[in-house]
Homo-oligomer: A and B are copies of this chain.
Amino acid sequence: MQEVRVGIIGYKFMGKAHSHAYHDIPLFFPDVPKPVKQVICGRDASDVEKARQQFGWAHAVTDWREVVARDDVDLIDISAPSDVHHEIVLAAARHKKHVFCEKPLALTLQHAREMLAAVQEAGVVHMIGFNYRFAPAVQLAKSLIASGRLGTIYHFRGWFLQDWIVDPEFPLVWRLRKEVAGSGALGDLGAHVIDMARFLVGEISEVVGLAETFIKRRPLAAEMTGLSASGEASGEYGEVTVDDATVFLARFANGAIGTFEATRFAPGHRCTHAFEINGSKGSVRFDFERMNELEVFFRDDDADVQGFRRILATDPPHAFADRWWPAGHGLGYEHTIVHEVVELLAALRDGRQPVPNFEDGLRCQAVLEAVERSIAERAWVKVEI
């Protein structure tokens, strides 16, 4: 496989980030199949044509059904809102297209199950967009845990803290409406924390959670469609139907315990996707706001020089570092997306499933659903796929 022809659905934040990844990969990763920016799809013809020109796609269309049906497309990239993931994936699978779907996989666990079944039945490659796994510092955490250098894992604590809707006059954008977004902070942010926990610690067996909507009514935005998180106020108010914040406790199958928090009400936190993990031999911690760094502690360091090390994961042997710049020259957010797509393309080249794939999407969805049920029932809930 020399090339992979891509059809992308969505052209806002994720559409832009994915387009950039396809654009840059040939320069830095010539050893994976070259992605070809074949067709971009969006509902507004004028906007999508503008995106096509800017991001360098060959064609622009407004109906995603056309994309999944095209002969000149190998891979469907679903960068559209969560409520349409299910329908698109099923259609793509019918057309035997490979699928790269943004997170969360679906709005419900049942949908997620159907989506996994569909791609498995179709025999196509499938990937889910948990991009934060691909920060080199996170890869280092994985490597330390997988090789046993942290010992038995006891604690996971994970957060995704943001502050973009603390202002009560921030409008009621689509991300705050359950019918479109499915979930608020939990599905948007918490899904990433859950995936990080699964990636690094293992499967979660049971949860109990708590959710809150601090600002219950917000100004209606004049423009309520689109993928954007922003929007102008219209003077009228509507009800916020998702969670502003969700916290939960968890037991892992391997005996570790965890605390999870996802909120959009943490002033000063722009994108604190952070975690700390404690094991019998040491600890690691990470904060995406300083994504090039991992802090690591080893219990077997000499007694007089024990302390958290601040490791800059910017040069070999750190993951992906040989492709970029010299030591200390940091990477940015977009590189997590590039690395993620490299994994997808490598999997296509090697005839294997990439990781994370829809099974990870489904398992994450099962945790999300258990959390939501535990909140509704005010009880511990076991995670079931």
Min CB gap A90→B, angstroms: 30
CB-CB under 8 A from A276, the residues of chain B are: 266
CB-CB under 8 A from A378, the residues of chain B are: 379-380
A315: CB under 8 A from chain B? yes
CB-CB under 8 A from A143, the residues of chain B are: 304
**Structural contact, A327 and B271, CB atoms closer than 8 A:** yes
**Structural contact, B311 and A310, CB atoms closer than 8 A:** no
CB-CB under 8 A from A351, the residues of chain B are: none
CB-CB under 8 A from A55, the residues of chain B are: 27
Residue among B272, B309, B318, B380 making CB contact with A309, cutoff 8 Å:
B309
One of A106-114, A176-184, A253-261 at the interface:
A253-261
**Structural contact, A297 and B267, CB atoms closer than 8 A:** yes
Residue among B229, B295, B303, B327 making CB contact with A317, cutoff 8 Å:
B303
- Closest residue on chain B to residue A16 by CB atoms: B27
CB proximity to B under 8 Å, residues A237-271: 244-245, 247-249, 251, 255, 257, 259, 261, 263, 265-271
Q: In the assembly, what is the distance between CA of A65 and CA of B97, in Å?
A: 50
A223: CB under 8 A from chain B? no
Known contacts A19-B27, A56-B27; is-contact A334 B325 (Cβ 8 Å): yes
Q: In the assembly, what is the distance between CA of A269 and CA of B279, in Å?
A: 12
A133: CB under 8 A from chain B? no
Q: In the assembly, what is the distance between CA of A162 and CA of B155, in Å?
A: 12
CB proximity to B under 8 Å, residues A296-336: 296-299, 301, 303-312, 314-318, 324-335
CB proximity to B under 8 Å, residues A153-169: 154-155, 157, 162-164, 166, 168
One of A207-215, A340-348, A354-362 at the interface:
A207-215
**Structural contact, B333 and A268, CB atoms closer than 8 A:** no
Residue among B214, B270, B314 making CB contact with A154, cutoff 8 Å:
B214
Q: In the assembly, what is the distance between CA of A268 and CA of B301, in Å?
A: 11
Min CB gap A28→B, angstroms: 8
Contact indicator per residue, chain A 191-234, by CB within 8 Å of chain B (1) or not (0):
00000000000000000111010100000000000000100000
Residue among B20, B24, B299 making CB contact with A166, cutoff 8 Å:
B299
Known contacts A154-B214, A259-B247, A309-B306; is-contact A282 B268 (Cβ 8 Å): yes
**Structural contact, A266 and B155, CB atoms closer than 8 A:** yes
Known contacts A54-B26, A271-B326; is-contact A311 B317 (Cβ 8 Å): no
Contact indicator per residue, chain A 286-298, by CB within 8 Å of chain B (1) or not (0):
0011111001111
- Closest residue on chain B to residue A161 by CB atoms: B278
- What are 19 A-B pairs with beta-carbon distances under 8 A? A13-B326, A24-B24, A27-B56, A154-B212, A154-B214, A164-B327, A248-B249, A267-B297, A268-B307, A268-B308, A270-B312, A289-B292, A291-B330, A292-B332, A301-B309, A303-B316, A329-B333, A330-B330, A332-B335
Q: Which 5 residue pairs of A and B lie closest in terms of their CB atoms, listed nearest first?
A: A271-B328, A270-B328, A268-B297, A329-B333, A307-B311
Known: A26-B54, A306-B309. 12 other contacts (CB 8 A): A144-B305, A166-B299, A168-B280, A209-B249, A247-B259, A259-B261, A263-B278, A271-B327, A289-B312, A289-B328, A291-B330, A292-B332
